Structure 1
C-alpha cells in the first residue's frame, strides 16, 4: 500500500509544481498590497477545505443542516489518505465536529463526509463547489475533490485563495470567529493541534488554513487584524512549512506598514480585483451578474427612496411590510451635518428579519462619535432562504467609512466599507436618519 501511494504521488505532474506565489490584500476593500505570480495557476492542496467549509456554512445558513446534524463516514471517506481522523466506515460525526476537524486537523475523511452529505457524492459536490465559487468571483479555480488531495486538474491562484478567505469572513463572520482561530480540537479523547502554527504567535492573526501536497509545496492563507485593519495574506509553494510561515509574517508586517499610505487609495488598487472582491454574496441558484454597484443581485428588487432634503426631519418615503411600525419615525439633525454626507457606506451584517437588521445597525450608529453622521440602510435580496436583509450604514466620506469600520470592529462586529457610485441616484431600499 505504501508503494502504491508513493507511486501515485510521483505520477502527479503539476501545472506549476510548487511554484511560488503570494498575495496580500485589504480584507475590507480588496486593495492589493503585494502580488507575486498572484494569477499564476497553482494547486490549492488543503486550502480547498476553505471552500468546502463555505459550502457547509451556507447549508447551515439555509437550514439544510444544523450543527448537531450527523454526517455518515462512507467507505470512500474512510479510505482517504492522511491527514484524517481515521473514523471507521459507518461511523457518524456531527457537523460541528466536522467543522473543527476541517479547520484544525484538515481531515480528508471528514471533508468527503461533508461533500457526500450535501451533494450525494464527492464528484457532484466538487462540481457544485466550483460553480459556486465562480459565482463568487473565483474565476481561475477548478475543484475535482473536496479536500485538496492530489489531482492534477485541481487548480487555483493565490489571488483566488485570498478572495475565498475574504468571502468567508464577510459572509460568515460568526463561524469564522468561532472556528478558524481554534488552536486545537478534541475528538474521542484525542487532542488534534491546528496545523496553522502562527495562531497565537503573530500579533492579530486570528485564523486561516494551511495546505501541502508534493505538487503544490507548502501553502497558507491567513487573516490578521491590527488596529481595526484586516489583511489577508496568501503564500503558495513554500519550500518548507517554516519558510512559508516566515514569509507570511514578513509580508503581513510589510502590508501593515504600508497601510496608512495606501488604504482606500484607488490608484493603488487593481481595478479588476476591486470589482470582483467587492461583489457581494449571491444566491447560489442565480447566475453570476455583471455589476456596477455594491449590491448587484438586489438592485432589481430595490424600492426607490427620495434622498431627504429637509435639514430638520426625515422619514422613510416607502414602507417595507416588516418595517411598517417604523415608517413614521422622525429624527432631528442639523444642517451642518446634513451637508457632510458622502458616497461611502459600510456593511455590518445580513439578517433573516428586517427589524433585527435595522435595530442592529441603529445601535451601532448610536455608538459612533457625534462628529460622524450617517444613515441606516436596509437592503433586501429576493431569496427564499438565508439572511435576505443586509444592514448598512451609509452617507460617509471614504475617510469616515474607514474610521467607522475601525470603531465597529473594535466592538467585535465585522465591517466592510464600500463606495456606492449611484448613491445620489437613490438606489436605496430604505434609509432612516436616526440622529
Structure 2
C-alpha cells in the first residue's frame, strides 16, 4: 500500500475556505476609501481570506500575500498595549467602554468628556496618546513593536499612506482638539494624531491579521513564535471591546448575526477571533457606508453561520472533541463526541495529513456525536472520498446518519416535563 498524499487531505480545509470566498467574490458593491487619496489608488478587486489556528496552522486563499494598511484594525492591539502599560483604570479614565452607535469618525464624547470607546477614532487617538514614550517616535516604535509581536514578524510603515493621512486628516485633528478641550487628551493634537496616523499606516496581509487574531485566540501567546505578547486578562478585555464596539454603528447587528470579536479598517481588512480556535483575516477594499469591507463582512457572516463559529451557539455538549485510540496512527480509530464543527474537523484533517504516510486504515465512531454543522458534514464526506481515492479503507459508525442526512441535525433532546403541569409538593 503506497503512502497517502498528505497534501490531498490538508487541501480539504483550504478548499472549504476557497468555496466560502467564491460565494462573495461576485459582490462588487461598495466604494474605496477615497477620503484618504492613497487608498483610492488600490486595486478594488483584491480579495483574501486567511485562517490561523490557535496552534499555529495557517490556511490562506485568494490574494493573501497582498499588502494593505491596518487603519482602524490597529485599534484593538494598541488598546491592549495601553492596558498592559497603564492598567484599565487609567485607560478608562480617559476613554469609555460603551458602543457609540455612531460612525467611526463621529464626535462622540460622554458626559465626562471621554470618547465612547477605544474603537472609534476619537477614542483611538486618546488611547494612542497613553502609550509610554518621551517622543512621538518612541511611542510609535512601542506600538510598532507590539503590533509586530502580534503578527509574528516586523511590520513596516507605508510612507505614502502615512503622508496621505497626514495631509487629509483634518477631522481626526478636530476630534483630538475636542478631546483636548474636554481634558481627556494630555498631549498636543499634532503629537497625538501623528502617532495615530502612523499606527494606521502599518502594512499587513490577510495572513498577518489572522496571526494577530490567533494570538488573541490563544490567550495572548503568538502561536507561531510562542511569545506571550499579552496577558490573559488584557486579552479578555480586548476581546470584550472588539465584540461590543469593534464594528461601529452596526456592532449590534454584528453580534447578533456573526457573533465574533472583530475589528475592521478602511484599508479593507478585518480581523476576527474565534476564542480558543482561530484568528481570521479578510481583505477586500470596497467599503460599506460604515467603513467596513463589503466582501469581508459577507465572508465572516458565512463563516460564522456555515462553520458554526458564533460565540453564542449552544452545542449539545460543552465542546466538540475527538481522540485517536491508536497513537501509532497505523490503524487509526477516531472517536467523536459533542457537536462537530469546523474547528474539530480541521484538527482531524491536520492529524491525518501529518501522519498520512503511516495510516493503513481509518475508523470514525460518531456514536457520541450530538450534531454536525453543515460545513463539517461536507468536509467529512470529502475526507471519505480522499481516503477512498488513496485506497485507505475507512469505516464510519454513524448511528444517527449525521453525514448522510441533511446538515446540522441534532440528537433527540432529553424529555422535558410539561411547563404547565402542577409542581410537585415540597418533600
Using structure 2 for the length normalisation, give the TM-score: 0.43
Q: Which has the higher relative contact order, 1 or 2, with Cα contacts under 8 A spaced 6 or more apart?
A: 2
Q: Counting strand residues as a fraction of each chain, which structure ranks higher? A: 1
Question: Hey, which of these two has a bigger chunk of helix by percent?
Answer: 2
